[in-house]
Amino acid sequence: MGKGDYLGEFEQLVLLALVRLGKQGYGMTVRRELEATSGRSVSIGSVYSTLDRLENKGYLSSEHGDPEPVRGGRARRTFQVKPEGVEALARSRELLSKMWDGIVIDPDVGAP
């Protein structure tokens, strides 16, 4: 397993946001979901470049919708997480939990 098979933090967040959104997943909703959950400001540009990267890795698929007036006559691109994406999420979670295993963080002392 190479390095590319693990997900970066922001990639995990975007993927998880999509999973949570289900069929509602597209650029705007992902951005809002991330912002709402993490409380940090996320730009639409970075969301798209990550979505793009994930699609290139084969974790996502996307579909073009019809133009909508509220979008200034522009189409919507909705994203679905593919099984490979779910697997990657599971692997990342497993790796993280392996790394966390046996570690207790004492908030007063800091990391041992």
Partner 1 sequence: MSGVPRLARWLLATVVPKRHRDYLIGDLDEEYRRFIRPSRSTVSAYLWYWRQVLRSIGARPSRRPAPIQTIRYKGDGIVMSLMMDLRFALRGLLKAPGFTLVAVITLTLGIGANTAIFSVVYSVLLAPFPYEQPDRLFQIWGTKAERGWFMNSLSEPNFWDFKERNQSFQYLAAYGGSSVNLEGDEYAERVRAGRLSAEFLRALGVSPTLGRDFLPAEDDSGEDGRVVLLNNNFWRTRYGSDPDAVGSTILLDGNAFTVIGVLPHDGIWLDQAHVFVPLVHDPSEQRNNNVLVMIGRLKDGVSEGAAYADMEGIARQLAESYPEFNGGMGVNFAPSTRWRADSDMRLALWVLMGAVGFLLLIACVNLANLLLARSTGKQRETAVCAALGAGRGRIFRRMLAESVLIACVGATLGLVLAMVAVHLLKALGASAVPRVEEVGVNVWVLGFTLLTAVATAVLSGLLPAFKAPFANLVNELREGDRSVSGNRGQNRIREVLVGAEVALALVLLVGAGLLVRSFGELQKVDAGFDSENRLTFAINLPAAVSREEESENTRLFLNEFLGRLRTFPQVRAAAAVNWKALGASTINMAVRDIGRPSTEKSTFLADWRYVTPGYFQTLGLSMVRGRDLTDQDRMYPLQAPPWNIVISRALADELWPTEDPIGRQVMMWEEEQAIGTVVGVVESMRERGPDRNPTRVVYMSYIGATWSPVYFVVHTAGDPMSLIPMVRGILADLDSSLPIYEIGNLDDSLTNSVAGRRLNTLLLSAFSFVALVLALAGVYGVMAYSVARRTSEIGVRVALGAGPAKVLRQIVTGGVRPALIGIGIGLVGAFGLSRFLSNLLFEIEPTDPVTYLTVASVLAIAAVVACYLPARRALGVSPVDALREE
63: left (phi over 0), alpha (psi -120 to 50) or beta: beta
Q: Which two tokens stand for residue 94?
A: 């497993």
Looking at the DSSP bridge assignments, the partners of residue 60 are: 81
Q: How far is the CB of 5 from partner 1 (least distance, A)?
A: 20
Distance CA 34, CA 17 (A): 7
> Closest separation between CB of residue 24 and partner 1, Å?
13
Least separation, in Å, of the C-beta of 92 and partner 1? 21
Looking at beta carbons only, is 67 or 90 nearer to partner 1? Answer: 67
Residues that bind partner 1 (CB under 8 A): 26-28, 31-32, 41, 43-46, 48-49, 52-53, 68, 70-72, 74-77
